[in-house]
Amino acid sequence: MLTSIIIHDLKLKSDIIYCTRIRYNLTMSVFLTDMDIAAVKKLVVSLGEPSYRAKQLLDWVYRKLAVSRDEMTDLPLSFRQKLAAAVTPHTLTPIREVKAKDGTVKVLFSLPDGKTVETALMQFSSDGNKHRYTICVSTQVGCPIGCPFCATGQQGFERNLTPGEIIDQVLYFARRLQDKSNGREGEKVDNIVFMGMGEPLANYSAVWQAIEMLNAKDGFGLSARSMTVSTAGLIPGIERLSGEKLQVGLAVSLHAPDDKLRNQLVPVNKKYPLDKLIPACRGYFAQTGRRVSFEYALFDGVNDSIPQAQALADLIRGMNCHVNLISANSTSAQTLRPSPRSRVLVFQQELKNLGINCTLRQSRGQDIDAGCGQLRSRFLTQSK
């Protein structure tokens, strides 16, 4: 089937983000996970089946985690044959995998057009022998923001992901946690963070459709409070997120307490400076009642001094928020080296002394370079 797909192409030009619409054709089936619930129902009826078959089909895809139509054994063979001619169940093909000593797994996926994205499954210990699992999901191929410390940002921007390409990252690892051969039968996805490749709020419609399907009782069924959307600070997206009926978490990549430095570390700050971003974050809490998380990666001699900790505290004082301090990943930029742990701890203590709720986020997958975009960067380099 020749299908025309519209992609919202986001570019950064003269420090202003703007959208254009491009259209390209791919020879492929329609993907089931690209459909919302209403579209699935419409598909089922169009194939001459009773509408209740839609719920059965969704149950197989999102709860029983079927990979193929052949697994959907309670659906009539005639219906499965019609489905085979109309839709393809999933969008992704795993092409490379790395696993860290701490249990973090990162997979590089090939998309239908041959482009690649990466997704990480992070394992955290809890009481007893039980583990909790968080999936870090990508939302774009590359990223338009261009942060100098981020491997994805240095790859440039290629396109947005579709809702199905976002959802299928979650379903892949959900199946993995149910796979007896991995010794993990019965384990489940506990949290989803939209913190992988790309700027989620720059692909808002696709990300939100994915969130709704991952939350829906006839979809994946994960609580909205178990999902967090990260942003470099796109204020229109934050304001739009504030008004949604599903109250997902918001994490803002801050990384600097003043505009001059943040313009260098997070270039979109030139479009959405701190005197506009921080009020938008306060507005998010006012509308949703959910505290905002601020991500702050520490770089040696760049943003890790005591005066900068004090400036950060002044910036966010009085807001219901939490600061996640991050031991930065190593980067090719010579001026952006990770802060020594001793300085990280001093910075953290200063924030605590000033009444700021903060924690030092545990780094995952350090031995496999699990930072955003690093696996894809290696793949792209080796493929040249």
Given the residues 118, 158, 187, 350, the one annotated as active site: 118
* Percent of all residues in the chain with a pLDDT value above 90, rounded to a whole number: 72
**Banded pLDDT at 46 (limits 50, 70, 90):** very high
Cα 120 to the center of its chain, rounded Å: 10
pLDDT surpasses 50 at 11: no
State the pLDDT at residue 364.
57
In the structure, what pLDDT confidence band is assigned to residue 155 with cuts at 50, 70 and 90? confident
Q: Give the Cα separation of 183 and 44 in Å (integer).
A: 36
Asked whether the predicted pLDDT for residue 153 surpasses 80, the reply is: no
User: What is the maximum span of the chain, computed from C-alpha positions, in angstroms?
Assistant: 69
| Residue 350 annotated to the active site | no
Percent of the chain with pLDDT over 70: 82
Whether 121 shows a pLDDT value over 70: the answer reads: yes
Least confident of 26-35, 116-125, 273-282, 359-368: 359-368
Phi and psi at residue 194, in whole multiples of 5°? -90, 75
Give per-residue pLDDT as tens, 272-324.
Answer: 999 999 999 999 999 999 999 999 999 999 999 999 999 999 999 999 999 99
Q: What is the rounded CA–CA span in Å between residue 175 and residue 186? A: 10
- The residues pairing with 97 across neighbouring beta strands, listed in sequence order, are 107
**Cβ neighbours, 10 Å, residue 164:** 25
Catalytic residue among 136, 143, 147, 372: 372
DSSP label of 123: E
Residue 195 tokens read as 């913190």
pLDDT of residue 13: 35
Q: How confident is the model at residue 152, as a pLDDT?
A: 81
Query: pLDDT category, 9, cuts 50, 70, 90?
Result: very low
Residue ranges and CATH numbers for the domains of the chain are 35-90 (1.10.150.530), 93-376 (3.20.20.70)
The beta strand positions in 44-151, using DSSP E, are 87-88, 93-99, 105-110, 116-125, 131-136, 140-142
Which of these, 156, 122, 161, lies nearest to 138 by C-alpha position? 161
CA-CA distance, 310 to 249, in Å (whole number)?
26
- Per-residue pLDDT at 335: 78
Q: What angle do CA 170, 2, 81 make, to 5 degrees?
A: 65
Catalytic residue at 19? no
Span 348-354, mean pLDDT? 97
Spell out the alpha helix ranges (H) of 97-217: 163-178, 204-215
Cα dihedral sign for 74, 77, 80, 82? negative
In this prediction the pTM is 0.88
- 273-278, Cβ contacts within 8 angstroms, sequence gap of 24 or more: 274/315, 276/235, 277/233, 277/235, 277/238, 277/252, 278/315, 278/316, 278/319
Lowest-pLDDT choice from 26-35, 94-103, 198-207, 272-281? 26-35
pLDDT at residue number 18? 33
Q: What is the pLDDT of residues 14-30, one digit of tens each?
A: 333 333 333 333 434 68
The mean predicted confidence, pLDDT, of the chain is 86
